[in-house]
């Protein structure tokens, strides 16, 4: 099946340099950090974008969302989108509580042609009901953009491997608080990754309350260890029962090379849907059509 992947990370040279500055309190080359992590590095954002498109082609994919995974790296993902506007949809991480958050969001959604703001309140310690989040929703509404809203458990492998502290407050990633704000902006699609990442029940409740909330299916969904006896097929079944097939987006949480695109995640999700006997129409919505509806290819780039 031709797929779109709604959740991949763009670990640019600038991203690696930001990790190095935080870890060593001084400038460190992207190459040095990549070697420490055991990753392969691309020379530029454009070269990394080319590599991701090659991954898509190798595995039969059509389009993917790539996320600038540290606040301030919007230019890197904008360069990737500019290189492959028909294949890459640009997401960017934003600290909504930062003084320059509104200006950064405006610039990224206009000059950078990015299309989704990614919020991690557990990392940056604010609530989804805070005024700073409302401002970002207002900006997204004006620009026809989406909001990626992380909820529940949060773990960042690169930080752990570099020995960086992860002083996250998981209470901030409450899907019910998210629904209270999202309901005020019904025109803004909201994407909750990993089925709520451990807040599965609360995310389902939020999704039933707020029709703009979608789930992405990405990652190995290791949060299932908090729910003994619950398997991925049952997660899909319950989500389909509450949200329906129109509000689910396939994703893998792919991130670095040489691992590349995580086909094993795709296979696990196909197997889960096989167990449910999911019809072809349901599969096509999850794996491709819902993504294309939320992030249509711009008419000005169709000939590229």
Answer whether 155's CB lies under 8 Å from 122's CB: no
Is 136 inside any structural domain? yes
Confidence of residue 36 (pLDDT cuts 50, 70, 90): very high
Query: What is the rounded distance in angstroms from the CA atom of residue 209 to the CA atom of residue 180?
Result: 9
Q: Of 233, 221, 222, which is closest to residue 272 (Cα–Cα)?
A: 233
Is 195 inside any structural domain? yes
pTM of the model: 0.96
Is 182 inside any structural domain? yes
Residue 1 has pLDDT above 90, yes or no: no
At residue 174, the pLDDT reads 98
Is 303 inside any structural domain? no
Lowest model confidence (mean pLDDT) among 110-114, 285-289, 299-303: 299-303
Beta-bridged to residue 17, according to DSSP, are none
Residue 144 has pLDDT above 90, yes or no: yes
Is 302 inside any structural domain? no
| Segment holding 117, helix H or strand E | strand 116-119
213 backbone dihedrals φ, ψ, rounded to 5°: -80, 130
Confidence of residue 2 (pLDDT cuts 50, 70, 90): very high
At residue 255, the pLDDT reads 97
At residue 304, the pLDDT reads 47
Answer whether 44's CB lies under 8 Å from 83's CB: no
Q: Region 212-240: what's the mean pLDDT?
A: 97
Residue reference for tokens 């509404």: 141
Answer whether 3's CB lies under 8 Å from 61's CB: yes
Query: What is the rounded distance in angstroms from the CA atom of residue 297 to the CA atom of residue 120?
Result: 27
Range of the domain at 199: 3-296
Beta-bridged to residue 215, according to DSSP, are 192, 248
Is 301 inside any structural domain? no
At residue 298, the pLDDT reads 78
Answer whether 206's CB lies under 8 Å from 179's CB: yes
Is 304 inside any structural domain? no
Residue 183 has pLDDT above 90, yes or no: yes
Stated length of the chain: 304
Residue 140 has pLDDT above 50, yes or no: yes
Q: Of 241, 164, 170, which is closest to residue 199 (Cα–Cα)?
A: 170
At residue 271, the pLDDT reads 98
Count of the separate structural domains present in the chain: 1
The CATH number linked to 141 is: 3.20.20.140
Burial 197-215 (b: 16+ CB within 10 A, else e): bbbbebbbbbbeebebbbb
At residue 276, the pLDDT reads 98
Residue 303 has pLDDT above 70, yes or no: no
pLDDT tens sequence across 145-171: 999 999 999 999 999 999 999 899 999
Is 273 inside any structural domain? yes
Mean pLDDT of the chain: 96
């Amino acid at each position: 099946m031709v797929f779109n992947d709604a959740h991949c990370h763009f670990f640019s040279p600038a991203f690696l340099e930001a990790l190095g500055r935080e870890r060593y309190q001084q400038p460190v080359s992207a190459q040095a950090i990549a070697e420490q992590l055991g990753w392969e590095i691309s020379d530029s954002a454009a070269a990394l974008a080319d590599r991701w498109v090659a991954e898509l082609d190798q595995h039969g994919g059509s389009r993917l969302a790539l996320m600038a995974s540290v606040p301030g790296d919007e230019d890197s993902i904008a360069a990737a989108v500019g290189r492959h506007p028909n294949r890459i949809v640009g997401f960017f991480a934003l600290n909504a509580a930062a003084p320059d958050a509104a200006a950064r969001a405006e610039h990224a959604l206009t000059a950078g042609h990015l299309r989704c703001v990614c919020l991690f309140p557990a990392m940056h310690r604010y609530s989804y009901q805070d005024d700073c989040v409302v401002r970002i929703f207002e900006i997204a509404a004006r620009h026809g953009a989406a909001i990626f809203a992380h909820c529940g458990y949060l773990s960042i492998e690169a930080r752990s491997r570099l020995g960086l502290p992860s002083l996250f407050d998981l209470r901030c990633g409450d899907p019910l608080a998210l629904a209270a704000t999202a309901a005020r902006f019904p025109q803004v699609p909201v994407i909750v990754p990993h089925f709520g990442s451990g807040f599965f029940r609360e995310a389902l409740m939020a999704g039933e309350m707020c029709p703009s909330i979608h789930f992405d299916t990405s990652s190995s969904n290791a949060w299932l260890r908090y729910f003994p006896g619950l398997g991925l097929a049952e997660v899909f079944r319950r989500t389909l029962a509450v949200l329906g097939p129109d509000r689910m987006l396939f994703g893998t949480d792919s991130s670095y090379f040489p691992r590349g695109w995580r086909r094993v995640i795709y296979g696990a999700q196909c197997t889960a849907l096989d167990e449910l006997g999911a019809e072809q129409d349901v599969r096509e919505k999850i794996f491709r059509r819902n993504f294309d509806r939320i992030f249509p290819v711009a008419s000005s780039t169709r000939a590229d």
